[in-house]
């Protein structure tokens, strides 16, 4: 049985109406999408690359009240049309980190289904 992609996904992703960037490895990367458990960024050839399993110690989540840094691990790197996407799974240490991601999503995004 083949499942619709939206049925396979445990956590619904959200995508921005406007372009949003995040600083990783001292470079700005455009956010492709975000869910409760991770973030997808667009990789460009001229910026530092990521590798599968790489730990990222500081993923800055900017909120109106300030910035919180979350840890993560690269869970996939894939090519979609003309873009190379890096998926990073969050490694939450506290409930505050999870709440910060939820606030970030709510402050900036609209829902997408796939």
Q: 49-75: per-residue pLDDT in tens?
A: 899 999 999 999 988 889 999 999 999
pTM metric for this prediction: 0.79
Please tell me the distance from the alpha carbon of residue 111 to that of residue 66, in angstroms, as a whole number.
Answer: 24
Q: What percent of the chain has pLDDT over 90?
A: 50
Residue 7 has pLDDT above 70, yes or no: no
For the chain, how long is the longest CA-to-CA vector?
46
E strand residue ranges, 1-114: 14-16, 21-24, 27-34, 38-43, 55-63, 66-80, 83-91, 109-111
Q: Where do the domains of the chain lie, and which CATH numbers do they carry?
A: 11-111 (2.40.10.220)
Whether the pLDDT of residue 16 is over 70: the answer is: no
pLDDT at residue 81 tops 90: no
Length of the chain: 114
Lowest mean pLDDT among 32-41, 58-67, 87-96, 103-112: 103-112
């Amino acid at each position: 049985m083949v499942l619709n992609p939206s049925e396979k996904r445990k956590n619904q992703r959200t995508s921005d109406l406007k372009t949003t960037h995040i600083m990783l490895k001292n470079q700005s990367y455009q956010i492709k999408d975000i869910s409760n458990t991770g973030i997808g960024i667009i990789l460009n050839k001229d910026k530092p690359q990521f590798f599968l399993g790489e730990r990222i110690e500081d993923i800055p989540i900017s909120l109106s009240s300030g910035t919180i840094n979350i840890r993560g691990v690269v869970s996939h790197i894939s090519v979609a049309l003309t873009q190379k996407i890096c998926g990073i799974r969050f490694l939450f240490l506290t409930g505050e980190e999870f709440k910060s991601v939820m606030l970030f999503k709510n402050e900036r995004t609209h829902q997408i289904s796939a």
